[in-house]
Structure 1
Amino acid sequence: MNKIIEVDKVMKCYETFKALSNISFSVWEGEILCFLGPNGAGKSTLIINIYTKLQVSNRVEAIKKALENGLIT
């Protein structure tokens, strides 16, 4: 199996509010991933940052093949 997403120590702040703090995980080909949490927990912020790679304080690496094959939508 191939690693299709690697997220390493992602942080995101809005002024003084810390939306994400040191989020790390990997997703392997064939896995199904689900983000669960209450409103305001940072689920959408994390997904947007993975997809766009914008405004992330540290490193998010999405493998190009996953995007080309439609594994990230």
Structure 2
Amino acid sequence: MRSRLLLSVAHLPTIRETTEEMLLGGPGQEPPPSPSLDDYVRSISRLAQPTSVLNKATAQGQPRPP
């Protein structure tokens, strides 16, 4: 049996291409530049580091390892 709460919730809006175009600047315009592969790998490496390593490097003023 379904919960009454589920039945009373309004539907979520959908994303349309026209909405995305408005957010990006309109049709026919170039999309914003995407980050380079090196930037991507660097950000993933930072996310993969334990927070204790990041806090220690920040406290010592050292750059984080790549």
Structure exhibiting the larger radius of gyration computed from Cα positions: 2
TM-score, scaled relative to structure 2? 0.27
Structure number having the greater helix percentage: 2
TM-score, scaled relative to structure 1? 0.25
Q: Point out which structure has higher relative CO (alpha carbons under 8 A, 6+ apart).
A: 1
Structure number having the greater strand percentage: 1
